[in-house]
Amino acid sequence: MEQHLVRLRRRRCERCGSVVPRARLICMPYAGGSATVFRPWREVVPSDIDILAVEYAGHGSRIAEPLIERIDTLGDAIADALQFEAAVPYVMFGHSMGSLVAFELCHALAKRRAPLPILLVVAGHRGPHEPAATAPVHAAPNAQFVAHLRDLGATPPEVLACPELLDLMLPILRNDFHACETYCPPRRPPLPVSIAVYGGLADAETDRDGLLAWKRETSVRHVLRMFPGGHFFIRESAARVVAMLQRDLTDALADRP
């Protein structure tokens, strides 16, 4: 489990030292991202919620490992590694590429008859069966690909300006864009999991109709939340996003049978 999930915070009982979370939040990063992008959430998510973040192979602390170029393979690998405590409910959160990974992870867990999350939160990505609004860029020439990264605003300017850092990051980013742009999930029954969809009001990558398409992927509850900002609204409107996530998590806990 620890190879795939980085524990950003674990709550412990001050009296006995045992782990006593009210819930767990499992986070999946965007293309090129590592588990550390969720580290700031430790300061704003309530202390009775464990925070874990997925570290994809070939990223962050696992940079020496081979990259995985398929979303479904990533979902299966994480599902194989997860260990569950049945008494602890959990929520999945994914942004952009992470939304697809979280979606495939849910299906992989359902196939294994493993405990499912009480809520799936997908952010910054159209429904998995919706066609892309833009042409693929994973195989574009470097100048065009870097220009796209600059427009998205995720990659730090210092990385884009440093040839050595760019040489390190480009294979990872191209791999992740390839995984997303070639992803073609099969038709399957909707998940028996509520889905909350988060989007940026100024996100040129994903429009409202694309976000609403997630409604077809759940047999339970679906809700759409829009926030100020572009594709990386989870940073631009971080406080609002985390506050809404807390509210949606609390509602999901209250809805448990």
pTM of the model: 0.92
Decide: helix, strand or coil at residue 86: coil
Question: Amino acid identity of 96?
Answer: S
C-alpha closest to that of 115 among 175, 54, 26, 217: 26
DSSP sequence for 120-162:
EEEES---TTSPPSS---TTS-HHHHHHHHHHHT-S-HHHHT-
Q: Which of the residues 96, 99, 194, 237 is marked catalytic?
A: 96
Q: What per-residue confidence (pLDDT) applies to 3?
A: 64
- Nearby residues of 250 by Cβ (< 8 Å), 6 or more positions away: none
The reply to whether 96 belongs to the active site is yes
C-alpha closest to that of 27 among 160, 120, 114, 165: 120
**Structure token pair of residue 180:** 């997303």
pLDDT per residue, tens digit, the chain (257 aa), is: 446 777 775 555 444 455 668 899 999 999 999 999 999 998 889 888 999 999 999 999 999 999 999 999 999 999 988 876 667 899 999 999 999 999 999 999 999 999 999 999 999 999 999 988 788 889 899 889 988 888 887 777 888 888 888 899 999 999 999 999 999 999 999 999 999 999 999 998 899 999 999 999 999 999 999 999 999 999 999 999 999 999 999 999 998 87
In the chain, the domains with their CATH numbers are: 5-131+186-254 (3.40.50.1820)
Q: What per-residue confidence (pLDDT) applies to 250?
A: 94
Strands 195-200 and 23-28: unpaired
Distance CA 94, CA 195 (A): 11
| Angle separating helix axes 163-181 and 97-111, nearest 10 degrees | 50
